[in-house]
Amino acid sequence: MEDTRMEPREILDVSIEEAGMSPAELARRQVELERREERAQREELARAALEPLGAHERPWPLLVAVAVALVLSIAVIAGALTVHHLSSRGGSLPGAIFIAALLGLLARGMYARRYWAVLGFEALLAFQILVTSLALVVASTILAAGICLMSIGLGGWLFWKLVRVMGRIQAGEQRERAARS
């Protein structure tokens, strides 16, 4: 199958001729195109520099994420089983079981080095960071504010560390697909 995509410079040349742009607009577009090309080159170099995970390699941020997911899963079940009148507090046992099962599934997927699992856990981390940031706004004590700040900091740190792990997982998957083709 032939690749019929146009290069960015070809697209720019066609649009400039058709639009009849002023020299200032032409210069601005050329600068924009050069920035895009430089950014694309930097991104490609960064992707090429990523070393895929080894056969049984599990970086420590990934293991920390697995441990956090497992501990949260157990804590959700323990909390649901020990709180009397859970429904009056806005919870339910089936909801707790669902959340615990989801966290357990994510932990298992992350341990198996699955991209979708790390991505899903990062989505939960991002949600936790946003909700805790909102809770910080209404924190009524210094202790509550400190706990919110600690939660935001640790969640953000783990999120950031998992970004590189995701890139390495994805690099390995892309190289495997390329080898099969």
pLDDT digits (tens, 9 = 90+) for 5-52: 555 555 555 555 556 677 778 788 888 998 999 998 888 887 777 788
Q: By residue range, what is the domain housing residue 26?
A: 8-49
HEC-encoded secondary structure of the chain = CCCCCCCHHHHHHHHHHHHCCCHHHHHHHHHHHHHHHHHHHHHHHHHHHCCCCCCCCCCHHHHHHHHHHHHHHHHHHHHHHHCCCHHHHCCCHHHHHHHHHHHHHHHHHHHCCCHHHHHHHHHHHHHHHHHHHHHHHCCCCHHHHHHHHHHHHHHHHHHHHHHHHHHHHHHHHHHHHHHHC
- Same-domain pairing of 93 and 125: yes
- Same-domain pairing of 12 and 79: no
Stated pTM of the model: 0.73
- Same-domain pairing of 89 and 29: no
Q: pLDDT, tens digit, for every residue of 48-71?
A: 777 888 888 899 999 999 999 999
- Same-domain pairing of 17 and 103: no
